[in-house]
Chains A and B, each alone.
Chain A
């Protein structure tokens, strides 16, 4: 397209214009926000002023209780990702390697994948109690499906010649897994974990907002209950930074794995 030629001809001017545009957009949003906060059109504190939110953010970051709750949530998510991820990888590898089993069982996983997982929370409470167990279970249940599906799909895309090489060396199933399948699957596994992490965060935190007395989700719903809007904004900002940051980190890993292979 014509536009692309312009970009390659003068990349510096183009990127600088985009950078200015970005700054303008952010500034525009912040100014509009501040104007809305000072206009008094909305109920007090629904749109708190930027200074209030910043102050609340600073207060939150200096609060040891915040880090205690953050630790609870992060460890719940880590265990959930471990449980759901390992089960998902194993199930995905088995289904990907055996077309017959995939035909028999994959439809269940494929169609249960896009259902709302949080509605299973009442069952998880009965099975694992009201503490961290039920939140971990929610996170694990949520992230199992996308991981299993993406691993199974990745297995089927392994180059057949790699599998044939393994077979011709008479590799045992365990050797096939560790020497052929897993190395060839690095990219799909990282991608699956990235998908799974995002969903595990949602599953765990939603469960915390529903019923808990610890964790980031609890802090958010608590801020709602006492109508501490600046604190809620501060919590949501931190949560988004953590989630987007973790996602970008794994995305970078995936990029490196792809380059390593290519």
Chain B
């Protein structure tokens, strides 16, 4: 999108928020008029009112920390193993040629559906959730690491060679810095993928942090609570997504 006059941007923002507000008010009115069944859709005002209750009663802080911990472990694994495999494949060209299409195919496979298998192997535990988040997000990290390393400008590598850098120096001083922006694109994709799958599996196996919160409230048929919890989790993911974007933009001028 090209940059527009600030007035137009403001008007667009007002329209967006205004539409959302109008829809919510309309739903509130329709429910109060019992045109929409209040046992299916709770009053938006009741959902907002439920947020402090959820925070006070459901130990949201602790749950948030649980999910964050799982995400941190999955991220650490992604950084070490994902980038590591990418670097190894770059180093051994024949292995890369043999396996790159397989990895690309796996990136399109519904890996998260293997969660019952992981349940059997790791039990109903945080390890299962971490492993699913990690494995599901692994292919994009590997592929983007490879793409970054392959895309390093040949002139940079020639400069390194003319300075008679060793392979190790060439990697740390030239290849890796040149590939870093692309690698981070892969990491951002991977981390978002990991978080989606972590929360999803928490919900599915009813274990752990924020995902389980939604499952429990839904099973209790706490309607405003369920909606409020979903709202909260969506908010957390959106903030995480924005944060990753900010970091990526901050990293980009470094190259």
Residue positions of A touching B, CB distance < 8 A: 1, 3, 14, 17-18, 21-22, 25, 46, 99-105, 107-108, 111-112, 114-116, 118-123, 126-127, 156, 198, 201-202, 205-206, 209-210, 217, 220-221, 223-224, 227, 229, 232-233, 236, 239-240, 243-244, 247-248
CA distance A221 to B116 in the complex (A): 7
Please determine whether A205 and B113 come into contact, CB atoms closer than 8 angstroms.
yes
Please determine whether A224 and B119 come into contact, CB atoms closer than 8 angstroms.
yes
Q: Is the interface of B mostly helix, strand, loop or mixed?
A: helix
Interface hub of B16, B106, B121, B192 (most chain A Cβ within 10 A): B16
Given contacts A25-B99, A116-B195, A118-B203, 17 further A-B contacts (CB under 8 A): A18-B98, A21-B94, A21-B95, A46-B120, A104-B15, A105-B19, A108-B16, A111-B241, A115-B234, A116-B211, A116-B233, A126-B41, A127-B40, A205-B113, A206-B200, A221-B116, A244-B108
Residue positions of B touching A, CB distance < 8 A: 1, 4, 8-9, 11-13, 15-16, 19-20, 40-41, 93-95, 97-99, 105-106, 108-110, 112-117, 119-121, 154, 157, 192, 195-197, 199-200, 203-204, 211, 214-215, 218, 223, 226-227, 230, 233-234, 237-238, 241-242
Please determine whether A103 and B199 come into contact, CB atoms closer than 8 angstroms.
no
Given contacts A108-B16, A122-B226, contact A103 B241 (CB under 8 A): no
CA distance A41 to B237 in the complex (A): 40
CA distance A105 to B13 in the complex (A): 8
Given contacts A116-B211, A122-B218, contact A103 B1 (CB under 8 A): yes
CB neighbours (8 Å) of A118 from chain B are 200, 203-204
Q: Nearest CB to that of B158 among chain A residues?
A: A1
Q: Is the interface of A mostly helix, strand, loop or mixed?
A: helix
Give which listed residue, A104, A209, A244, contacts B12 with CB less than 8 A.
A104
CA distance A111 to B239 in the complex (A): 9
Q: Which 8 pairs show the lowest CB-CB distances between chains A and B?
A: A103-B12, A122-B218, A224-B116, A104-B15, A104-B16, A247-B108, A115-B237, A104-B12
